[in-house]
Structure 1
Amino acid sequence: MKKIFLFASLLLSLVIHAQILDPVQWKTSVKQLSNNEFELVMNATIDNEWHMYSQFTPEGGVLPTEFTYKNQKGNYSLVGKTVESPYKKVFNDIFEVDEYFFAHNATFTQKVKVTNTSLKEIKVDLFYQVCKEQCITQDKSFTFKLPVIKSEAVKELASTENVTEVVTSVMDTVSEEKIVLGTDTITEKEITKDEVVTAEHVEQKAEERSFLSIFIFAFLGGFAALLTPCVFPMIPMTVSFFTKQSKTKAEGKKNAIIYGVSIILIYVLLGSLVTGIFGADSLNALSTNVWFNIIFFIILVVFASSFLGAFEIVLPNSWANKVDRQADRGGIIGILFMALALAIVSFSCTGPIVGTLLVEAASKGGIAPIIGMLGFSSALALPFMLFAMFPGWMNSLPKSGGWLNTVKVSLGFLELALAFKFLSNADLVSQSHWLERELFLAIWIAIFGAWAVYLFGKLTLPHDSPLTHLSVGRIYMAILVTIFTVYLIPGLWGAPLKLISGFPPPMTYSESPYGIGGNGSSVQTNVELPEHAHLGPQGIIAFEDYEEGLAYAKKVNKPALVDFTGDACVNCRKMEENVWSKPEILNILKNEVVLISLVCDRRIELPKEEQYVSKETGKEIKTIGNKWSDFQITRYKSNAQPLYIIQDTEGKDLNIPVGYTPDAEEYKAWLESGINKFKK
């Protein structure tokens, strides 16, 4: 009876998985807003229990929806960003991130302004992931037909307030047969009205928070610049100048305010130049460019080395001399040149901080460099204005001394740590795996550990003064840095380190994705790996190329377990964590089969010579994920992950493919049925 039930379950599994699932049906339309302005509308109808994900769902979980608008140059421009209908927000305990998803339906709209009056159509490529018990990554292409744009009708249409809907909808061909695969992969909590918000509102709020964080970060950077040997001694000198040269107290206060405003204008102008030269949108695009991040890494290492005392970054003396001569002119022009002189003379200390802020702000894109320079210059200018207005406060200032160099060195350690964040970005984008989570944390532990040793006075650098005792403030700072260093150490064994979330690579981008001593306690790091193999989930030797894995299976005379999986597949992770971790199953996977994991959502581009057009779907196969997804569709008429098949050494299937199978006993029986056929 048990065998009959197992056979029936496997037969049902075959029926379910041997088909191309398409849980999202699309309708597209165009709305004409004016003679040359249009709104591209994409409506998605999502099957019950399936979820599609927002463009803005955070990294580290499922894949967000992405739109690519083709052939824009010289034809049309986008007006704003793609706007979404309201979505829901829940916490995914597998990936440990929030997810923004759509259920039942979703609408995406994009305004465009046509500049080529002969343009007849706009093509849009869409990439998205949809999940239930399985996850499916989809590539779609839409063609929006445009009406004839008449140049003589511009005035007439411009005065018309009515919005005319044109062009009929286009619908993808979908299978009428629907299969219910069981419970949802996401446990929906009670969604309040506050959690259901429009993407446009969320994006606006996120942008406001981003700019506020940049301003605060930059303001703190300006305050730090004040406490450096190049700037701090300038405060009493400058204040003394204003109090002696001004005929009255009122004039002195006015000149001090003009001086402070001039400092702000100089640095804001610098931020404006960076934004103007690169462009607001291109800065954001560059932030994910590998070479851009590598260049930033090198720049920050140079800045950090300067702060640590290796050398000083200074501007040509001739610049300072020319500016000083202009400052002697007096009046508002003279004060403006005094502010410029401060910027030039103090550049060896402020330059690395300004450079770091511009690098960080540039990675955010938009007007972030301007916001950053406003925050930095405000903090830098404020003390000069206040002490010039209230000279009596000067008595409360601490005296210059070796502590200023301590601040400068501390900034050097911070800049060095930040530099590796940009190197990590480059590594993550390229998926090179040179700087995985453990190595990144080891570098940070070394940097912050060295900083703690320095603060305790056990390490001296070139420009340090002799240290006879430790101040109370320095001891507190040393203790704080030591605590942070110790906090980082458990991260090497898989601790989440939520305080620095977003800085190190994600948990999945590491040598031990499941940690050491946790779910991955069975991982053996001293395993001798075959050529082209790596340690996969639960320490199982795995191949990521079908031909290489099958060749090894033939060499060792074992059946191959072909695993169609995804980096952002929730139930793939559930199977690996909850089913594969069972001792009786883990023993089979490690010793009786060769695991071949084919990642169907990995968007690493194939070499040009390996790219092709699918005979099955007609799509261009450009990425590794495209390749294995096309293989799955072509051979098994299925596009959902996970999907498991046991094959012999010639690549012939030994049993019926199965998908998500949370019952460990059922999955074990399925494995054994395929292995027994291989042995016979």
Structure 2
Amino acid sequence: MFKRFFAILIAILALAGTAGAQIMTPVTWKSEMTMTGDDKGKIVLTAAIQYGWHMYSHDIADGGPQPFELTFPKLDGVKLDGKFTPSKAPHRQMDEMFGMELAWWTEGVTITQNFTATKPEFAIEAMVRYGACNDENCVPPSRETFSFNGTAKVKAAAAPVEEKAEPAETKEEPAAEETVAATDSVATDSVASTAAATDDSAAPSDLWTPVTYEDASEATSISEGSLWYIFFTCFLGGLVALFTPCVWPMIPMTVSFFLKKGKDRSKSIRDAVIYGLSIIIIYVALGLIITAIFGASKLNELSTSATFNIIFFLLLVVFAISFFGAFDIKLPASWSNRMDASAERTSGLLSIFFMAFTLTLVSFSCTGPIIGTLLVEAASQGNMWGPAIGMLGFSTALALPFMLFAMFPTMLQSAPRSGDWMNTLKVVLGFIELALSLKFLSVADLAYGWHILDREIFLALWIVLFALLGLYLLGKFNFSHYGPADSSIGVFRFFLAMISLSMSVYLIPGLWGAPLKGVSAFVPPLYTQDFNLYGESFKEYDDYEEGMKAAAEEKKPVLIDFSGYGCVNCRKMEGAVLDDPNVKNMILDNFVVIKLMVDEKKALPEPIKVTEFGKEVTLYTYGDKWSYLQRYKFNANAQPYYVTLDENGSLLSGPFSYEENIPGFTQFLEKGIKGYSK
């Protein structure tokens, strides 16, 4: 039984290190046409959306990301009956980046379009255009085309109606008319002939030649596995929970019970190990229950949902107040009494399991706020396994001492004794809870555009919190629940106070625009700062060939930025990384920047026909062209996406994807500069 349990846990953890493919297809389509009457029918298009991704709906205003569009380039012998209908309403959310409400579907959606046949034999060609994003990447606007042929029993009176079908159809589907008109106004061309219009020193084929990565790992997006982050964060949380007054005194009592219970030492160790495994099973089950209650799609929305972030903020504030001694968060005493009675009535493995359950209930007043904080952080990562993996890390740290002390009982003699230091730990955790709560309130503030927690306000609150924490650790004040302040402090507590006060001093320059790299992942982005010391902005070319020509003339390497107007994470990278003064100056001094918007809707002078995966594809817009360039040359289709090249189109460094990591991005740029100098 335990082998199977560990096999499942190992399989779950293995998911964290799995690297995804470069070419992402988050949305797959199935199509079907059925006749619902003699001359009536419907087209059903079903989109399956990968977990963690969302596809934007049709109800998005101009200036936002690529909305869903359904057009009909060919309608031979049919007329459309009204507009298409989706199977479910989209999720709606205010987005600060675009300053508007966005709507999208997750998991999947079915689009239905009814029609009436006007000829015995008819043909339909339907085309969908859509955009999709997840928490790290966006794919460029994509097209799918579907063809249908059918027969119908058309009444004799239907013939003259067919002549009038086109005008009525135009009124009902203006988007379709615009698409067809734009398509008919241009002719066929090729990528090579378009590139040949430039005077670039390199041949067009050289500029478009696919790059070769140094190793397979280079071809994958650079992002850390969120599951490993969740596991180790919660593992540290479990270590902290060990030293609370509700858990630490239980360790010697429980270990002594197992050692005295049986004469066989090996059996005592086995019982202690089973006790520890029971703790792990209980907490992992709690994480799975959280996933089951909210559902995978809902957990994915937590990281960006303003409503949930406000709830998380309030929860952490309540947890902090509890740690400050205002009240205790306790489960009903009847629960622990019932578990304790069950442990006494049973024997063997079941008795040990009930003992572990009793520990989790009795210690909840101390571990509850920690568990709540960790579950909030795990759930907000948007991964369906997050809560379960988080509780696995937390419970592993909590269970290890019970097993280790049972195996090596002499270690108990050197373990620290219970005392007032445990109350001090609770107060310190309360300050940390308050600091973390502001992170979630900041997300909601950005989503709704309240501007009540801009960067200066956020930093001012953090400065005060860490200063108060430092003063508390120095014994300058105490909360009434824990008695008067003690002016005599230990060396360890003194160093903790020094670290906290130093943190306050470190944050102060941020009030005037300092980047604060050490905490950039927590504080609001620099663009919310009312005053900052931005330097000169760098020029960005919006055409690949033009930018490469400029790079050859200036004899500089090229920084390619594949972005999109509808790419939220692209805006995040610009605010958190590219707007950093050091990064901006490095780019300004050393690179020619080419920023290619893969959702640019400006039509090409002439369309371009290319063959991709054995299928002929027509590129109508500049966005189509830059998206194809990214797929063809770099074998990628997600944004943001950064690479550095020489003027001949050869790879110098990269790729670098969505990761708000200024040192990492600086290293990526430095590698490109060194590669070009060689």
TM-score (normalised: structure 1): 0.53
Residue 243 of structure 2, aligned match among 227, 235, 238? 227
Residue 505 of structure 1, aligned match among 504, 510, 524? 524
Post-superposition Cα deviations, 1:475-508, rounded to whole Å, max 9, x if no partner, equal 1111111211111111001000011112111100
Query: Is the contact made by 2:47 and 2:110 (CA closer than 8 Å) also made in structure 1?
Result: no
Deviates more, 1:341-350 or 1:172-181: 172-181
RMSD: 5.0
CA 1:30–1:484 in 2, change beyond 3 Å: closer, same or farther?
A: closer
Q: How many Å separate the matches in 1 of 2:572 and 2:329?
A: 45
Query: Is the contact made by 2:272 and 2:406 (CA closer than 8 Å) also made in structure 1?
Result: yes
Partner of 2:511: 492
The reply to whether residue 331 of structure 1 matches residue 348 of structure 2 is yes
Partner of 2:165: none
Q: How many Å separate the matches in 1 of 2:132 and 2:69?
A: 12
Post-superposition Cα deviations, 1:435-465, rounded to whole Å, max 9, x if no partner, equal 1000001111111111111111112123436
Task: Report the AA paired with residue 446 of structure 1.
Answer: V
Q: How is 1:436-447 mapped onto 2 (pairs within 5 angstroms)?
A: 436-447=454-465
Post-superposition Cα deviations, 1:224-269, rounded to whole Å, max 9, x if no partner, equal 0001111111111111111111231111100000000000000000
CA 1:301–1:73 in 2, change beyond 3 Å: closer, same or farther?
A: farther
Partner of 1:268: 284
Q: How is 1:231-630 mapped onto 2 (pairs within 5 angstroms)?
A: 231-328=247-344, 329-365=346-382, 366-464=384-482, 467=486, 469-514=488-533
Unaligned runs of 5+ in 1: 1-28, 42-54, 56-62, 78-109, 129-136, 150-168, 184-189, 521-565, 578-600, 602-615, 618-638, 640-680
CA 1:175–1:475 in 2, change beyond 3 Å: closer, same or farther?
A: farther
Q: How many Å separate the matches in 2 of 1:407 and 1:463?
A: 14
Query: Is the contact made by 1:228 and 1:407 (CA closer than 8 Å) also made in structure 2?
Result: yes
Q: How many Å separate the matches in 1 of 2:459 and 2:417?
A: 38
Deviation at 1:287, TM superposition (A): 2.1
Q: How many Å separate the matches in 1 of 2:415 and 2:458?
A: 40
Q: How is 1:161-200 mapped onto 2 (pairs within 5 angstroms)?
A: 173=183, 193=213
Equivalent position SS for 2:475? coil
Q: How many Å separate the matches in 1 of 2:520 and 2:328?
A: 33
Post-superposition Cα deviations, 1:609-655, rounded to whole Å, max 9, x if no partner, equal xxxxxxx99xxxxxxxxxxxxxxxxxxxxx9xxxxxxxxxxxxxxxx
CA 1:76–1:458 in 2, change beyond 3 Å: closer, same or farther?
A: closer
Equivalent position SS for 2:528? coil
Q: How many Å separate the matches in 1 of 2:502 and 2:233?
A: 22
Deviation at 1:568, TM superposition (A): 8.8
Query: How many residues are matched?
Result: 416
Unaligned runs of 5+ in 2: 1-26, 34-43, 50-54, 56-62, 71-83, 91-105, 116-123, 151-178, 201-209, 538-569, 582-596, 604-622, 624-678
Query: Is the contact made by 1:410 and 1:451 (CA closer than 8 Å) also made in structure 2?
Result: yes
Post-superposition Cα deviations, 1:366-388, rounded to whole Å, max 9, x if no partner, equal 21111100000000000011112
Q: How is 1:83-232 mapped onto 2 (pairs within 5 angstroms)?
A: 123-126=128-131, 142=143, 144-145=145-146, 173=183, 193=213, 201-202=220-221, 206=223, 209-232=225-248
Query: Is the contact made by 2:251 and 2:402 (CA closer than 8 Å) also made in structure 1?
Result: yes
Query: Is the contact made by 1:118 and 1:148 (CA closer than 8 Å) also made in structure 2?
Result: no
Deviation at 1:73, TM superposition (A): 6.9
Task: Report the AA paired with residue 145 of structure 1.
Answer: F
CA 1:449–1:478 in 2, change beyond 3 Å: closer, same or farther?
A: same
Equivalent position SS for 1:364? coil
Deviates more, 1:426-435 or 1:465-474: 465-474
CA 1:262–1:495 in 2, change beyond 3 Å: closer, same or farther?
A: same
Identity of aligned residues (%): 44
Q: How is 1:639-678 mapped onto 2 (pairs within 5 angstroms)?
A: none
CA 1:65–1:351 in 2, change beyond 3 Å: closer, same or farther?
A: same
Deviation at 1:431, TM superposition (A): 1.9
Query: Is the contact made by 1:421 and 1:503 (CA closer than 8 Å) also made in structure 2?
Result: yes
* Higher RCO (CA-CA < 8 Å; seq separation 6+): 2
Deviation at 1:281, TM superposition (A): 2.4
Deviation at 1:289, TM superposition (A): 1.3
Query: Is the contact made by 1:218 and 1:372 (CA closer than 8 Å) also made in structure 2?
Result: yes
CA 1:487–1:64 in 2, change beyond 3 Å: closer, same or farther?
A: farther
CA 1:385–1:334 in 2, change beyond 3 Å: closer, same or farther?
A: same
Deviation at 1:514, TM superposition (A): 4.0
Task: Report the AA paired with residue 360 of structure 1.
Answer: E
